[in-house]
Amino acid sequence: MGGGGFAQHAAKVVAANRALLKKRTSLKRKDYIGERGITRIKIRKATPAQLKAVRERLKADKRREFRVWVFSAVLTVLVLFAIYLFFVS
């Protein structure tokens, strides 16, 4: 019987995942809200200068990512063109 091991492995994985689902707990409202409605989670307030710095850093990352993408696309086209010339000519 070929492939029987693969089916057995799949059945074991499904059973293990089902067991993990039973252990999972979700965050309930009482976990993060105190008795008087005071939240226990502290949220940091950012200043406008900090927000501007984050925006500038995101813009710089986006520009760098775009440059890398363009460079890799041009390099890929050149390599494919070189392979085409090498094998066709």
pLDDT at 38: 59
pLDDT of 5 > 80? The answer is: no
pLDDT at 31: 63
Average confidence (pLDDT) over 31-45? 63
Cα–Cα distance between 73 and 79 in angstroms, integer? 10
Residue predicted with more confidence, 35 or 82: 82
- Token pair for residue 17? 């995942």
- Token pair for residue 62? 């986006």
* E-only strand ranges, the chain: none
- Helix then strand then coil, in percent of the chain rounded to 5, is 75, 0, 25
Cα–Cα distance between 44 and 26 in angstroms, integer? 24
Mean pLDDT of the chain: 82
- Determine the straight-line distance between the first and last CA of the chain, rounded to whole angstroms: 51
- Token pair for residue 86? 């090498």
Rama region for 3: left / alpha / beta (φ>0; ψ in -120 to 50; rest): left
Average confidence (pLDDT) over 23-29? 69
Average confidence (pLDDT) over 58-73? 96
